[in-house]
Structure 1
Amino acid sequence: MPLTTAATHLSARPYTDGDQKAVLALINADRLPGQPETTPGMLTEALAGRSPVDSGWWAELDAPVTDVLQNSGGQVLGVVSYATRPRDGAGLILWLHCLEEDQALTGALIDRVLDRLGRRTVYAFEFASALSLGLEGLPVRNRPATRRALEAARFSGEDLWRYIHRRLDQEEAAGTGGPRLYPVAEVAPCHERDGWQLTLRDTDGTPAGEATVGRPVDGVGVLWWISTEASRRRRGLGRGLLAQALQVLADHGAREVIAYVDDDAPPGDPERDRTAANRLYDAAGFTEVDRLWSFTRRP
């Protein structure tokens, strides 16, 4: 029986420990290039409402509720986690996965959440969970049925992030990527994220650029941030700093690198314009995997 004709035979119930294997299979079936496989430990953190990324936003929420969707035979076909936020009374769909990205199943999960949350503003895919390396939004190209189901439920979407990916070549991964570039960035542990901070300084010691990279997970490293001082741009510093950031990741075991670009700036906003950053990433061999969207439903 096609999945879409089985909606009347579905039922929802709270997640139990016995659902772990089935739920992990659903999550990993949606895994994007450049994302490590979700482990039982990562799922445990997500269920508890903890995340190494966006942890401050998670701390604002009440304890998450996680429900599964099953058919009449007890097979788990979908899972959704949601919560409320006391400071503004909003509801949030934190993460959602279903078998074969089926729109009927996704719609049933969304209906379950809306029924449980009641009449209030509901946000979906607002920030990253422990299930991924920083996916702050729904990858709409790889999850088109989920996007359609949200829109059918009167959610409006906003395109916020560019998700990009690059494999490290053999020389980089072996730590033999040629001579080190100059000026050489200082590398120090990063206190805000588990990783390293790279700082470029001018000849007088003033900072000229900085980058932040995350400790690789299962061979995947994250370039969290890179920037150069406005007065020192157009001198190749960004290109050199990016190359050194990739080398730091390779030296610590990365075989792939991902990055997120918040290129949703409105026209005429020079502070948030990411045109130059996107050119830098594209020239360095990054390719766009998907666009990350967030969604809002007003009562």
Structure 2
Amino acid sequence: MAHDGFGVVLGAMALHRPAATGRLTGSVAWLHCRENQEAARTLVRAVVEDSAGLTAVTAFTDPGPLEPGLPGLPLHDRPVTTEVFAEAGFRTMDQWLLLHRPGRHAEGDNGPHLPAGGPTRWIAAGGAAHGLHRPARPTVALAKWRDRLRGSLERLDQAGGSDALTTVDLLAPDASVRCHLLEQAGFTEVDLLRSLALT
């Protein structure tokens, strides 16, 4: 934790140091500092100092503690924290575009637009809709993914117009095509999510 001179907490983080298959690794699960630059620097400096002897140090590779529980540090929402990690030598390891589509009613529904009917739903990387959780990232042929996406969105609209969230792995070779198809389906960018590694 990072405190001010009066003992008020300015920031906190969770740092794990598990031993895995003979390698000693460190991982920042989460870090919160209300975008206070000095608190962020204090916490990240502690990570770097504590990394001596570790074979790898990563950050934001696991789902966060709050909904929707996605891995990654949101670039636009957390610019100060992102900058402090970059200054300390962390580089992008994985990058996902987070997209949102507001709930809709099925075509032909001339009634008033009601609030979204139920929880926000994930469209997983495979194109299927399901409840909130970390989306899997299987390799799915683009045509099959497009068909699953279309069917998932139609079912969501018919079931009451739940909002939909999805991610696109921006390092995947077909990322630009998937982004274009999602944009055509009514999705808009929310943020960029990055997992980091100390270099």
TM class by shorter-chain length? 0.7 to 0.9
Aligned positions, number: 184
Match for residue 130 of structure 2? 214
User: Quick check: 1:279 aligned with 2:180?
Assistant: yes
Match for residue 127 of structure 1? 62
Q: Assess, with a 3 A threshold, how the Cα gap between structure 1 residues 253 and 125 changes in structure 2: closer, same or farther.
A: farther
Structure 2: gaps of 5 or more residues: 110-120
- Give, in angstroms, the shift of residue 128 of structure 1: 1.6
Q: Assess, with a 3 A threshold, how the Cα gap between structure 1 residues 228 and 84 changes in structure 2: closer, same or farther.
A: closer
After TM superposition, list the pairs within 5 Å mapping 1:197-236 onto structure 2: 211-215=127-131, 229=141, 233=143
Structure 1: gaps of 5 or more residues: 1-67, 180-194, 199-209, 266-271
By relative contact order (CA 8 Å, sep 6+), the higher-ranking structure is 2
Match for residue 109 of structure 1? 43
TM-score, normalised to structure 2, is 0.75
Identity of aligned residues (%): 28
Match for residue 81 of structure 1? 14
Per-residue CA deviations over 1:177-231 (Å, capped at 9, x if unaligned) read 449xxxxxxxxxxxxxxx9999xxxxxxxxxxx6332225xxxx9876798756x
- Give, in angstroms, the shift of residue 259 of structure 1: 0.4
CA contact (8 A) 1:212 1:226 kept: no
Query: What RMSD over aligned residues (CA atoms) do the two structures have, in Å?
Result: 3.3
Which of structures 1 and 2 has the bigger CA Rg?
Answer: 1
Per-residue CA deviations over 1:247-282 (Å, capped at 9, x if unaligned) read 4345666632110111213xxxxxx42332222101
Match for residue 144 of structure 1? 79
Greater share of helix residues, 1 or 2? 1
CA contact (8 A) 2:10 2:36 kept: no
Cα distance in 1 between the residues matched to 2:141 and 2:194 = 29
Q: Assess, with a 3 A threshold, how the Cα gap between structure 1 residues 226 and 154 changes in structure 2: closer, same or farther.
A: closer
- Give, in angstroms, the shift of residue 166 of structure 1: 1.1
Corresponding residue SS for 2:171? coil
CA contact (8 A) 2:123 2:164 kept: no
Q: Assess, with a 3 A threshold, how the Cα gap between structure 1 residues 288 and 248 changes in structure 2: closer, same or farther.
A: same
Match for residue 193 of structure 2? 292
CA contact (8 A) 1:214 1:222 kept: no
TM-score, normalised to structure 1, is 0.52
Cα distance in 2 between the residues matched to 1:108 and 1:281 = 39
